[in-house]
């Protein structure tokens, strides 16, 4: 590189606004460039930041005669040589600074924060810029990279951006530079977002953009039905994850074709419920597509059983580790219960299964299919339309998953069945789960039926010696499953328990902690105790705090009750007056907060006394 630069005066300073990304240039020859000795430090720092690997050279006094008769040039050459030496000393520290700034920027979540730190310190400009362009919520930021005379508001809405006329080849330069930085793109269906563009803009991109629009795109989330036909433009060999929501049949067929031919490295594939209803008529196309994805690790699929045989091909996915399946009711509100309609191929490396169902019976059939597999994580979302007796079949099917470590069962209702309030789960329903000894995380959440016998939960805890998290959350206050005294049993049985989320029965005024029973028990390593909506009498605060300090000295106690806002602006005060929660709930939350503070004090005092006794 042999550039001619202007003379650098004494008061020269680097304009940080024009600093570019670090260059890999190995040699920089400045020819006959005059640089003031008073600006050596500034120039050296500038060159070290821009060209950390480049050796700086000059062409002053190449011969012996010139060295003798041109002392001014000798001095100018010496200045550049000193600048090169100083640049070599500064380059390593600047390189370390660049690494540090990238690490710092990597932990910043909000775009506004990235913009702020970039304005504060020029060292953060490029790392923040790279981070902002990695994940785009729409195509609007890229369209704004075109010259102003090419971009304007769409006729449909002032908030939507469009391209007025086709750009010239030179107009794409800035667009092309930032398009290479984009790794993730989300095209939303809502035109009211600040990232929306219209179909005319995307059409111009498809016709006139020279080359792939986003050459390094790895994650694509496509929600827009209006722009559905342009989704294939972004399906490339670099794509790793793809979520698709539109449900038009022709566009879906084109997308499947492009996935099969242009995205062989795809690892994660999701189809929305609306899209899967269309896929029911494209079984052959979908089967051909997914069987060509040899690297697929995550597959999410929704279907109305038994309309598709796509799941029969799961055995072809040699790397599949996560399967998300949703079976929806037919138009008459029923789901086929035959074993043949729910036959699934088995992937040898499948570890995570997420099942969402409208019925308990298909859940047991699906789990029987995976009996004896190496599943370690199971999440079931159920909207029951049948009696809860079928829940026993589900737990029996779960018991055959011997490698299971994480199990979550959540009941959800759009309309709560009239007889669900009186439904009870007894110990015989939960007893099959005793066969799983390696459970680490267990959850019964949302509209959980009442467990009639607390001993059932205690027996589970006694079986799962390695349990780390336990969540038992009922759907109403009178469906509480545990008493406060049962928590000490959990602490004795599960020595590895770290997080406990429960709702206990109300603690009245006369509750007393049995100190003799719990005095010689080893303290639990529990770190978080979440009591949900548990009512505790203020008169029992000290007894409850002493009990918790003795059993869970390291645990933080929290709750789900509403709390009063810490700041009292006029808008918050008005909202609080109009829609504030009942005083009973506020008092219950404040009681638990006082118990938490008192427990901390008692735990510190007990720890200090034990330390003094040992000394």
pLDDT digits (tens, 9 = 90+) for 538-563: 888 888 998 888 888 888 999 888 77
Note the Cα 508 to chain centre separation in Å.
42
Domain extent at residue 89:
16-106
Residue with more model confidence, 85 or 381: 381
Average of per-residue pLDDT across 468-480: 73
Domain boundary pick from 106, 123, 147: 106
Domain boundary pick from 85, 106, 127: 106
99-101-102-105 Cα dihedral, nearest 10 degrees: 160
Rounded Cα distance, 207 and 213, in Å: 11
Whether the CB-CB separation of 416 and 391 falls below 8 Å is answered with no
What pLDDT digit, counting tens, does each position of 485-496 carry? 888 877 777 778
Place 318 in a pLDDT band, splitting at 50, 70 and 90: confident
Residue 415 lies in a domain: no
What pLDDT digit, counting tens, does each position of 4-31 carry? 455 565 555 554 433 444 566 667 777 7
What pLDDT digit, counting tens, does each position of 201-234 carry? 999 999 999 889 999 999 999 988 888 889 999 9
pLDDT value for 203: 92
Domain boundary pick from 50, 82, 106: 106
Q: Where are the alpha helices (DSSP H) in 31-124?
A: 40-50, 64-69, 71-106, 111-120
Residue 524 lies in a domain: yes
The token pair at 468 is 């780390």
Whether the CB-CB separation of 318 and 348 falls below 8 Å is answered with yes
Rounded Cα distance, 427 and 459, in Å: 9
Residue with more model confidence, 422 or 445: 445
Residue the block writes with tokens 């690892």 = 267
Q: What is the DSSP letter of 520?
A: T
61 burial class (0-12, 13-18, 19+ CB within 10 angstroms)? buried
Residue 380 lies in a domain: no
pLDDT value for 204: 92
Residue with more model confidence, 90 or 358: 358
Instruction: Note the pTM of the prediction, 2 decimals.
Output: 0.68
Bridge partners, residue 597, by sequence = none
Rounded Cα distance, 115 and 97, in Å: 19
Phi, psi of 442 (to 5 degrees): -135, 140
Sign of CA dihedral 333, 339, 345, 346: positive
Whether the CB-CB separation of 449 and 420 falls below 8 Å is answered with yes
Residue 575 lies in a domain: yes
**Residues found in the chain:** 615
Q: Would you say residue 379 has pLDDT above 70?
A: yes
pLDDT value for 452: 63
* 3-class secondary structure, 378: strand
Whether the CB-CB separation of 258 and 280 falls below 8 Å is answered with no
The token pair at 412 is 């959800």
Cβ neighbours of residue 24 closer than 8 Å, sequence gap 6 or more: 53
pLDDT value for 329: 53
Residue 591 lies in a domain: yes
Whether the CB-CB separation of 5 and 33 falls below 8 Å is answered with yes
Q: Would you say residue 117 has pLDDT above 80?
A: no
Residue 26 lies in a domain: yes
Residue the block writes with tokens 């390189």 = 95
Which 3-state string (H, E, C) describes 172-223? HHHHHHHHCCCCEEEECCCCCCCCCECHHHHHHHHHHCCCCCCCCCCEEEEC
**Number of domains within the chain:** 2
pLDDT value for 104: 46
Nearest to 426 by CA among 463, 388, 380: 388
Residue 241 lies in a domain: no
pLDDT value for 297: 87
Rounded Cα distance, 376 and 352, in Å: 6
Residue 158 lies in a domain: no
What pLDDT digit, counting tens, does each position of 22-67 carry? 566 667 777 767 677 767 667 766 666 666 666 777 666 666 655 5
Residue with more model confidence, 442 or 99: 442
């Amino acid at each position: 590189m042999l550039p001619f630069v202007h003379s650098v005066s004494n008061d020269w300073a680097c304009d940080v606004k024009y600093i570019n990304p670090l260059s890999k240039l190995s040699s920089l020859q400045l020819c006959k460039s005059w640089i003031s000795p008073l600006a050596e430090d500034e120039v050296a720092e500038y060159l070290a930041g821009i060209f950390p690997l480049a050796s700086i050279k000059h062409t002053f006094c190449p011969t012996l005669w010139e060295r003798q008769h041109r002392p001014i040039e000798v001095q100018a050459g010496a200045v550049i040589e000193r600048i090169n030496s100083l640049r070599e000393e500064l380059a390593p520290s600047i390189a370390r600074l660049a690494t540090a700034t990238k690490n710092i920027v990597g932990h910043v979540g909000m775009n506004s924060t990235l913009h702020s730190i970039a304005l504060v310190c020029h060292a953060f400009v490029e790392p923040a810029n790279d981070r902002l362009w990695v994940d785009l919520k729409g195509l609007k930021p890229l369209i704004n990279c075109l010259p102003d005379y090419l971009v304007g508001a769409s006729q449909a809405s002032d908030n939507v951006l469009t391209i007025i006329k086709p750009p010239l080849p030179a107009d794409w330069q800035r667009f092309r530079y930032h398009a290479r930085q984009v790794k993730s793109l989300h095209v939303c269906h809502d035109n009211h977002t600040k990232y929306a563009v219209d179909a005319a803009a995307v059409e111009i991109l498809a016709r006139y953009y020279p080359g792939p629009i986003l050459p390094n795109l790895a994650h694509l989330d496509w929600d827009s039905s209006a722009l559905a036909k342009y989704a294939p433009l972004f399906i490339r060999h670099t794509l790793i994850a793809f979520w698709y929501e539109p449900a038009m049949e022709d566009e879906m067929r084109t997308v499947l074709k492009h996935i099969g031919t242009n995205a062989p490295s795809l690892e994660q594939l999701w189809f929305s419920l609306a899209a899967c209803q269309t896929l029911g008529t494209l079984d052959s196309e979908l089967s051909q597509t997914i069987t060509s994805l040899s690297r697929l690790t995550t597959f999410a699929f929704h279907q109305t059983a038994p309309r598709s045989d796509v799941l029969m091909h799961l055995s072809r996915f040699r790397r599949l580790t996560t399967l998300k399946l949703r079976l929806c009711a037919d138009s008459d509100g029923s789901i086929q219960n035959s074993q043949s309609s729910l036959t699934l191929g088995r992937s040898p490396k499948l570890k995570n299964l997420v099942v969402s169902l409208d019925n308990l019976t298909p859940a047991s059939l699906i789990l029987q299919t995976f009996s004896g597999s190496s599943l370690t994580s199971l999440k079931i979302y159920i909207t029951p339309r049948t009696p809860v007796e079928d829940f026993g079949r589900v737990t029996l099917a779960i018991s055959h998953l011997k490698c299971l470590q994480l199990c979550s069962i959540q009941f959800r209702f759009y309309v709560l069945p009239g007889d669900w309030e009186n439904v009870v789960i007894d110990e015989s329903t939960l007893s099959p789960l005793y066969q799983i000894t390696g459970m680490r995380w267990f959850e019964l959440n949302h509209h959980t039926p009442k467990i009639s016998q607390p001993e059932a939960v205690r027996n589970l805890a006694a079986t799962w010696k390695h349990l780390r998290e336990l969540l038992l959350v009922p759907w109403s206050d009178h469906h509480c499953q545990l008493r406060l005294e049962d928590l000490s049993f959990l602490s004795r049985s599960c020595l590895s328990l770290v997080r406990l989320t429960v709702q206990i029965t109300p603690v009245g005024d006369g509750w007393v902690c049995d100190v003799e029973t719990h005095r010689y028990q080893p303290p639990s390593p529990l770190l978080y105790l979440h009591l949900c909506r548990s009512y505790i009498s203020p008169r029992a605060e000290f007894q409850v705090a002493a009990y918790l300090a003795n059993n869970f000295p390291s645990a933080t106690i929290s709750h789900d009750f509403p709390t009063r806002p810490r700041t009292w602006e006029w808008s918050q005060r008005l909202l609080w007056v109009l829609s504030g929660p009942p005083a009973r709930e506020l008092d219950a939350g404040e009681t638990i907060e006082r118990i938490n503070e008192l427990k901390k004090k008692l735990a510190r005092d007990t720890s200090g006394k034990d330390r003094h006794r040992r000394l």
